[in-house]
Amino acid sequence: MAVTEPVPPELGDPILELLNGFIVELRNAGLPVSLTENLDAMEAVRHVPIGERETFKYALAATLVKHANHWKAFETVFEVYFSLRGQEYSIGDGADDLPEMDDEGEEGQEGAGDQQGGGGGENLTPEELAEMLFQALMRGDQQMMRGVARQSVKRYAGMEPGRPVGGTYYLYRTLRNLDLEGVLERLLEQEQNDEGEASEFEQRLQRDEYQTRIDQLQKEIEAEIRRRLVADRGVEAMAKTLRKPLPEDVDFMHASREEMASLRKAIYPLTRKLASRLQRKRRHGRKGPLDFRRTVRASLSYGGVPAEPKFRNPKPHKPEIFVIADISGSVAAFARFTLHLVYAISGQFSKVRAFVFIDGLDEVTRYFEGVEDINEAVHRVNTEADVVWVDGHSDYGHALGVFWEKYGKDIGPRTSIMILGDARNNYHASESWIIKEMKEKARQVHWLNPEPRSYWDTGDSIVGEYAQYTDGCFEVRNLRQLEAFVEHLA
């Protein structure tokens, strides 16, 4: 949807069009950009020249980014929309057609952006380019590194116009030819020859310094590839290609290892909020028994009529949490998240009992007690828990039966039960009466389902049969939905 907010007259049409497209793409990526923030961004760019690229970027970020988790998405969109443009970044004209750029020319174009690539060197041999790379990293020469990055992409990436290949492939081809690990060892060897034998600590500092320069060179190469892809495919197409879900929208079922690591960090604040929600509900939702003495004393003001009954304060008690989680193969990725959630909840409540099941069920509370490393607890759950009864395929009915037989007596009016699973029962008996009995004995029963709501009650899913006896069945596939569930408890 096009942005139609009024704009300052000082902004020209090209930058206005670019900024509008930029903000639309931010919204498509999931960043909440309001009308006010849009106007703030326009006001900010009036005072910052677009040539001062880093300052320009942070000026926009200050007005448009409200959460640290959104920074990566913002930076990706910025690098696409405000990448350097020009004929020199086109693909397919042949390496020899690229304009010659010497150091003086580079300095003259500094105003166009800090990431302007160095040029020239089309006639360099691979050995000469490798030597230029070595010298650039040895001296930490930013200008030379940009030039090397540009020449390396032009020479080694093999980019072709219209070729449906991602930037990662071109990056791999370029880095493979540069052999940066070998360059790093050569740099360290040269440093040792020049400066003499260094202590272990000094060697570590040198390695870190050179590694930082190499990382910077790699970023320059990535930027150069991105600029050429934008020139070939257009801004909107590249933005759509690079668009990734925000951390709070990452599906638990398809999260990568890196995404799971960031999700684990976000779980703990949510569990603290969950704890505060339950405590608040306990504090305001119930009254204690009638205080007869205070009621009689208050009745003296009304001529002996007990018009203002007084109640005792409810005795504070800590909530008891039962977590029953499906860890079968159909929800394997969600199960990993579930176990981390159980671990985080255990840190917030003193009375948490955890159960896992496939077609059998076992209590795993002891695996999370006094454990510093969550991976150790997860490993023990996966290897020691007795959760297979017959064939290791989900059987909710039998697992619930085992739970009710062994642990049903422990459920009381202070118990909150969270069941996590997709309710795909492989056409076994549902035994849904057990959920009904849980609801009658427990304070509340909630079901968290990692499947999209449109998949519920399709195939062997019987979540609707269970959900009718719960206090709520929620689709929880990402952090945003988990947070909405926690808010629902308020």
pLDDT confidence bin for 466, thresholds 50/70/90: very high
**What's the average model confidence in pLDDT over 206-220?**
90
In DSSP notation, 286-307 reads: ----B-HHHHHHHHGGGTT---
Structure tokens that stand for 131 in this block? 């030597």
Among 109-118, 258-267, 285-294, 340-349, whose mean pLDDT is lowest?
Answer: 109-118
**CA–CA distances in Å: residue 282 to residues 210, 276, 348:** 57, 10, 16
Whether pLDDT at 151 is above 60:
yes
Q: Is the pLDDT of residue 285 over 70?
A: no
Task: Look at residues 455, 473, 481, 213 and name the one whose alpha carbon lies nearest to residue 337.
Answer: 481
Burial of 10 (0-12, 13-18, 19+ CB in 10 A): exposed
Q: How confident is the model at residue 434 (pLDDT cuts 50, 70, 90)?
A: very high
Is the pLDDT at 428 greater than 80? The verdict is yes
Identify residue 35 by its one-letter amino acid code. Answer: L
Give the best-scoring range by mean pLDDT among 31-35, 242-246, 247-251, 366-370. Answer: 31-35
Quote the CA–CA distance of 404 and 77 in Å, as a whole number: 52
Structure tokens at 458: 């399709």
More confident residue, 354 or 273: 354
For 428, residues 6+ apart whose C-beta sits below 8 A from its C-beta are 395, 396, 397, 398
- The per-residue pLDDT for range 53-97, each reduced to its tens digit, is 888 889 999 999 888 878 888 888 888 888 766 666 665 554 444
pLDDT of the residue at 12: 57
Max mean pLDDT range (53-67, 288-302, 320-334, 476-490): 53-67
Three-state SS across 366-385?
A: HHHCCCCCHHHHHHHHHHHC
Higher pLDDT, 477 or 95: 477
Tell me: pLDDT of 454 over 70: yes
Is residue 421 over pLDDT 70? yes
Provide, rounded to the nearest whole percent, the portion of the chain with pLDDT above 70.
Answer: 83
pLDDT of residue 71: 87
Q: How far apart are CA 397 and CA 391, in angstroms?
A: 14
142-156 helix and 167-178 helix, angle to the nearest 10 degrees = 110
The pLDDT, as a whole number, for residue 212 is 92
Instruction: Name, of 30-34, 116-120, 253-257, the range with top average pLDDT.
Output: 30-34
- pLDDT of 119 > 50? The answer is no
The CA R_g of the chain, rounded to the nearest whole Å, is 31
**pTM for the structure as a whole:** 0.63
Whether the Cβ atoms of residue 470 and residue 447 lie closer than 8 Å to each other: yes
Beta bridge partners of 475: 449
Residue from 416, 411, 399, 309 nearest 356 by CA: 399
Which is more confident, 106 or 250? 250
Mark residue 423 as left, alpha or beta (left: phi above 0; alpha: psi -120 to 50; beta: remaining): left
Tracing tokens 């580079």 back to the chain, one arrives at 106
Q: Residue 159's pLDDT is what?
A: 80
Average pLDDT, the chain: 79
pLDDT at 281 over 80: no
Confidence band of 404 (pLDDT split at 50, 70, 90)? very high
Nearest of 22, 131, 132, 116 to residue 77 by alpha carbon: 22
Q: What is the DSSP string of 168-234?
A: HHHHHHHHHHH-HHHHHHHHHHHHHHHH----HHHHHHHHHHHHHHHHHHHHHHHHHHHHHHHHHH-
Burial class (CB in 10 A: 0-12, 13-18, 19+), 20: middle
Q: What is the per-residue pLDDT for 4? A: 47
pLDDT at residue 97, as a whole number: 41
Contact between 54 and 89 (Cβ < 8 Å): no
pLDDT in tens, 320-366: 888 898 888 777 777 777 777 777 777 666 678 888 888 889 888 88
What would the mean pLDDT of 460-485 be, rounded to a whole number? 88
Q: What is the pLDDT of residue 122?
A: 62
- What single DSSP character describes residue 330? G
Give the model's pLDDT for residue 426.
87
pLDDT of residue 121: 57
Top pLDDT among 118 and 200 is at 200
Residue listed under structure tokens 């389902």: 449
pLDDT band, residue 142 (cuts 50/70/90)? confident
Contact 29, 80 (CB under 8 A): no
309-318 pLDDT per residue, tens:
888 876 666 6
- Name the strand (E) or helix (H) holding 440: helix 433-441
